[in-house]
Structure 1
Amino acid sequence: MAAARLRKRKCAPGGPEGERPSFAPTTPWVRLALFLAALRLLNCFLVRTSFVPDEYWQALEVAHRAAFGYGFLTWEWAQGLRSALYPLFFAGIYKGLELVGKDSVHLLIWLPRVAQALLAAVADVRLYSFAKWLDGPEVAQWVVFCQLCSWFTWYCCTRTLTNATEAALCTIALSFYPLPGTKAGSSSARYLILAAVAFIIRPTAAIFWAPLLFWHFWTETSERRLHLLLLRCLSVGLVTLGSSLVLDRIFYGKWVVVQLNFLRFNVLQGAASFYGSHPWHWYATQGLPAILGPHLPLFVLGCLRTPRRAPHRLLLALILWTVAAYSALSHKEFRFLLPVLPLCMLFCGHALHGLGKGRRKVAAGALLASNALLGLYLGLVHQRGTLDLMAHLRDLCPSSSSAEQQDPPSVMMLMPCHSTPFYSHIHCPLQMRFLQCPPDLDGRADYQDEADAFYAAPLQWLQAEFAGNSSSATPPSHLALFRGLQKEIDPFLHAHGYERRASFFHTHLPQGRVGSHIDVYERDPERS
């Protein structure tokens, strides 16, 4: 009898009817959720470096302007390429802090990241439940271990990036998806809603969900296909898209379909290549291997050893499809693959569980140590200078007693555009300027953005920019620049009485326009 029950459980991972079990909030699940939440909060506070401009300029800067009425919106917002949903969530946090008189700059910086960390923890919990249903509790433990060890997940998941939110929502939604061998029940609405929200926040989520939606529709009975299409997909799509249209109408002041604008600009026009392009094989030969890092051998082994059941084949096909679809686009970045990384951890966990006990301990220890070194170095050391710079510049914020001073401080960032955060990390109307780099939206053959024009001839650009006697031609009181540039603009610094006042370490790997340190120069009017 016992052997028969065991065989019955093995033949259907979701139970005797192939349905996924419901997970009640029992004590073990509460403990798991609290542990993962605590770990992601620790993760949040151990990431103090910058990664890409979008974590500030497409989220916190927009939120700061919406909540407090001042800030800078990049060209994407003028062109209607971004949904207001994501930054307005943070704007709500900012406004709530302002209403209770707690809108300190430190809370403005960290509360959005705490919210992102808690969302990542929810995704971790759902990944465990999904892996448990798929391969059992022992494999699920190793899947979550691999997920928590992943250096790239550690590095990105608590940042205010739409990619991080897209990845978390896709993982949560996938745990409700009716994989082959299950029955499509009430979970269909949940996964469709989460997938739709992910699409509104970042339209590229359609790449991830298109084959899954097609598979769900194809595997349904003919009687239920119409029900799925009309009462599930269509209703969820209309509600979420309609809500997005209304929200963007309020934000932009006009009707804007940002998803169509995003598709036209990035795919049909290919204008995203202005920010860099890579060969078609980059994701397969560099992108995916790099973000997997020490997990790569386990991932390959897991793909070879994973049971040839329909759910596993579908998940592997989903990884391959997503990588292939992104490979067709000219502009490529590591963070674009974040949604498939939890799927890769399913295969890594399966491979790790399949090793012998002794080999598993060695592999797990090596995995933890190597990823910890990468995660801690990149999260605490590499590219931290830009954030340290903003903490220093906060001291320039005028106090209420000095608000009427005749010569208020001003700052110019002589750095690659969007190198630093902006008002979200200052939270005062300090005069600041940076070198801008919008793409050529008019198709001019001789187009050159402000940053390129500056770096082509830094000294001549500064002399031309601040020539004359008008107030607009007065050099700023402070300059921030990467070390190495001062050699080229030294005559300008000397002529206007600039002296170096502070220096911040940025990276051990300077390259191109980015130096190892960031130097802050202050102008002495008496010496100019």
Structure 2
Amino acid sequence: MSALSSPARAAGTTTEGRRPDLMGENTHLVLFTISLRIINCLLVQTSFVPDEYWQSLEVAHHMVFNYGYLTWEWIEGLRGYSYPLVFAGIYKILQLLGQDGVQWLIWGPRLAQAVLSALADVKLYSLVKRLENQELAKWVFFCQLCSWFTWYCCTRTLTNTMETVLTTFALFHYPLEGSKMVNSFKYPTLVAVACIVRPTAIVPWLPLLFRHFWQEQRKLNLVLHRFVPVGLATLGFSLIIDRIFFGEWILVQFNFLKFNVLQNLSTFYGSHPWHWYLTQGFPVVLGPHLPFFLHGCFLAPRRARILLRPVVWTLLVYSMLSHKEFRFIYPVLPFCMVFCGYSVKSLKVWRRPAASFLLLSNVVLALYTGLVHQRGALDVMAHVQGLCSAHPPGPSSASVLVLMPCHSTPLYSHVHCRLPVRFLECPPDLTGKGNYVDEADLFYTDPLSWLKGEFKSDALLPTHLIFFNVLEEELKGFLAPRGYERTTVIFHTHVPEGRTGSHIYIYERKKREAHPSSG
């Protein structure tokens, strides 16, 4: 029996074979949390990374409505259809009900993700309450709801978000109280599903799986009768789904591992020094919680430090990979909240000021990142969607060229009409021949030359051009002679960097007659 079982029994919060009723005694808590996460969803109107659309919603839209664009990863079989299938199911239901308007397509999946995240929040509360006591559970729950990064990510349709939700669910069923636990198939099943969604989900679970194996007396039985059957069944389910949509048998998990780890080709999308997660990534993700987390690590009893192992291990493993992103370590954030809870609970006299600091500082970050920073990428799609009704299909229909870093915006999941839209592409070099330059880099090297080469005849010109304001001066020699006029200015960010500007411009071609080339 694990040491964590003693406090739980002393507090009388659980017994062997008794399963906490999530929708019973915690009904009010569940309803409150779901309501909060729905508000959370509505107050996040900004873009984070392209994957929240291009690895989920855009794929689901293509699956249900049979048009759209799939990125190179789907052509090469690096991603599986299991996760997009969840949102394709939502889209199909909306289609059958005749409610597949663009707003429902945008908000339906996000609201569903919000509800799942809310249930994960409650599971975290119930876990701590079962293992320790209600007082600690209350402060862990408070820290979880306060987290600005959780607020920022938990309603987005990112694979990392679903990975985090499934990890929290699995942790609730993990045998922290000992290896003899009722229905121990649940947590390995949830871990396996998380790995199907995103293969890297196995990383934080390796220390916990090894601990379970080490403490289990019947080790062979655990592996052969639980882990192996669950793994094979889940993998088989994933293979069948991918066989249906790819049209051939393909193991996307191996392709994902091969590309990102064995070949290390993910560095094409950026690389960082080994210490980035320690000096930037982890401190930013934790934000104002960081001092409380560090304090809680020293304060927490030894029996709770098993939950620290996944955090340390994940940071160590991801630090070895060149390509790093904030969202990659999102799944360990719920583990961190447990230690933050220990810290806040111990402060006593300073507890109220500490809680006020956490709440106010995180609210500022959450509202700014959710409502202001990088909102132009979504706002511009409302204007693009308006072209569907303003220019019905036909000889005079609208067409759009997006001259922004590749996949800066979503597409048909936020437009939902067969509007011709072209954008710069940036697939990595999969041939290994070297001297490879993607389309986006070619454009940014010499924008005018690229445009003149692509549109040698004015008849080929799109009706609308969309680009960041930093390009306007370079493009003036192309725009004015061909009758383009700026019609819309959309705010994007206060912190522009590189190829990203503070505003997005929409130029419309007003003059339809031919114009002489500008040389």
What corresponds to 1:253 in structure 2? 247
Identity %: 56
Q: From the superposition, tell whether residues 333 and 468 of structure 1 become closer, same or farther in structure 2 (CA, over 3 Å).
A: same
Q: Does 1:192 align with 2:188?
A: yes
1:384 corresponding residue in structure 2: 375
Residue 96 of structure 2 corresponds to residue 107 of structure 1: no
Gaps of 5+ in 2: none
- 2:397 counterpart of 1:396: no
Aligned match of 1:319: 311
Aligned partner letter, 1:492:
F
User: Is 2:499 aligned against 1:507?
Assistant: no
Aligned to 1:150: 147
Contact kept, 8 Å, 1:483 with 1:519, in 2: the verdict is: yes
Residues 8 and 132 of structure 2 are in contact (CA less than 8 Å); yes or no, is this contact kept in structure 1? Answer: no
Task: Determine the structure 1 residue equivalent to 2:267.
Answer: 273
Where 1:437 maps in the other structure, the secondary structure is coil
**Residue 485 to residue 140, structure 1, CA distance change in 2 (3 Å):** same
After TM superposition, the score normalised by the length of structure 2 is: 0.95
Aligned with residue 287 of structure 1, among 281, 284, 292: 281
Alpha carbon RMSD of aligned pairs, Å? 1.7
> Aligned to 2:421, what secondary structure does the other structure show?
strand
Alignment-derived partner of residue 321 in structure 2: 329
The corresponding residue for 2:449 is: 460
The one-letter amino acid paired with 2:344 is: L
Deviates more, 1:106-115 or 1:441-450: 441-450
The Cα shift of 1:325 comes to 0.8
Q: Determine if the alignment matches structure 1 residue 496 to structure 2 residue 482.
A: yes
CA apart distance, 1:134: 2.4
**Aligned pair 1:170/2:164, yes or no?**
no
TM score, norm. by length of structure 1: 0.94
CA distance, structure 1, for counterparts of residue 503 and residue 428 of structure 2? 28
> What secondary structure does 1:175 align onto?
helix
Aligned residues: 510
- 1:425 counterpart SS class: coil
Match of 2:352 among 361, 377, 400: 361
CA–CA separation in structure 2 for the residues paired with 1:498 and 1:16: 69
Cα distance in 2 for partners of 1:135, 1:364 equals 20
Question: Using the alignment, how far apart are the partners of 1:105 and 1:138 within structure 2?
Answer: 44
- Per mean C-alpha deviation after superposition, the further-off stretch among 8-17 and 249-258 is 8-17
Task: Give the CA deviation at 1:182.
Answer: 2.5
Q: 1:20–1:149: structure 2 CA closer, same or farther, 3 Å change rule? A: farther
CA contact (8 A) 2:125 2:138 kept: yes
Q: Which amino acid aligns with 1:333?
A: E
- Measure, in 1, the Cα distance between the counterparts of 2:392 and 2:419: 12
Deviation at 1:226, TM superposition (A): 2.4
Runs of 4+ displaced beyond 3 Å = 8-21, 25-28
Equivalent residue number for residue 219 of structure 1:
215
CA distance in 1, matches of 2:487, 2:495: 24
Quote the offset at 1:135 in angstroms.
2.2
- Given the superposition, is the C-alpha separation of residues 429 and 482 from structure 1 closer, same or farther in structure 2, using an over 3 Å criterion? same
Q: Deviations over 1:165-196 (max 9, x none)?
A: 000100110010001x4343234101011111
**Offset at 1:163?**
0.1
Q: Is residue 229 from structure 1 mapped to residue 227 from structure 2 by the alignment? A: no
Between the aligned partners of 1:157 and 1:514, the Cα distance in structure 2 is 25
The 5 A counterparts of 1:91-106 are 91-106=88-103
Mapping of residues 400-415 of structure 1, within 5 Å: 402-403=392-393, 405-415=394-404
Q: Which residue of 2 aligns with 1:482?
A: 468
CA–CA distance in structure 1, aligned partners of residues 247 and 112 of structure 2: 28
Deviation at 1:284, TM superposition (A): 1.2
Other-structure match for 2:344: 352
CA distance, structure 1, for counterparts of residue 206 and residue 311 of structure 2? 13
CA distance in 2, matches of 1:172, 1:303: 23
Q: Which amino acid in 1 is paired with 2:178?
A: T
Q: Output the amino acid matched with 1:214.
A: F
CA drift at 1:208: 1.6
> 1:388, CA displacement in angstroms?
0.7
Q: 1:13 to 1:157 in 2, by over 3 A?
A: farther
Q: CA offset at residue 18 of structure 1?
A: 7.5
> In 2, distance between residues paired with 1:88 and 1:26?
27
CA distance in 1, matches of 2:345, 2:278: 25
Distance 1:17 1:491 in 2: 73
Q: Structure 2 residue aligned with 1:525, among 504, 511, 515?
A: 511
Counterpart secondary structure, 1:418: coil
Structure 1 window deviating more from structure 2 (372-381 vs 22-31): it is 22-31
Separation in 1 of the partners of 2:22 and 2:438? Answer: 55
CA deviation vs aligned residue, 1:266-302 (integer Å, no higher than 9, x gap): 0000000100011111111111111000000000000
Shift of 1:83: 1.3
- For 1:25 and 1:447, the matched residues in 2 are separated by 54
> Secondary structure, in 3 states, of the residue corresponding to 1:208?
helix
Aligned AA for 1:213?
L
1:366-407, CA deviations, whole angstroms, 9 ceiling, x for partnerless residues? 1100000000000001100111100011111147x943x312
Structure 1 alignment gaps of length 5 or more: 1-7
Residue 238 (structure 1) shift: 1.1
1:141 aligns with 2:138: yes
Instruction: For 1:453, give the aligned amino acid.
Output: L
11-20 or 312-321: bigger deviation = 11-20
**1:4 equivalent in structure 2:** none
